Structure 1
Amino acid sequence: MTDKNNAEVMAWFQQQQTPAGWFDLLLIMIDGMLNNAGELESQPFLRQMGGSAGR
């Protein structure tokens, strides 16, 4: 690979990454929801959100 190709590949991988702290925030939100509502009450919402994110 040339240096240009390496730079293009590196740029593509960097664009695929999420901003720092995004998953930490998501985990805090889901953990809070599970603590407040309970796992059984939370599962339909999480399945719906997972289905929406997969589109």
Structure 2
Amino acid sequence: MKTFACGDVIPGCGAHFSASEEDGIFAQVAGHAAADHGVTDIPPELVQAVRDRIRSS
């Protein structure tokens, strides 16, 4: 299982995500970024920041 906490990249955000694959995390995070943070064009630096903070359990 993979997990990601948005607050690890966006201070103060309490959203957490989990999925069996990294792609599942990114799908959830993309929706969350648009809906809750107004980010629809995600730069490569942000993708890498998320990737670096995805944890496996």
If the length of structure 2 is used for normalisation, what is the TM-score?
Answer: 0.32
| Higher relative strand content | 2
| Higher relative helix content | 1
If the length of structure 1 is used for normalisation, what is the TM-score?
Answer: 0.33
Larger Rg: 1
Q: Which has the higher contact order (CA 8 A, sep 6+)?
A: 2
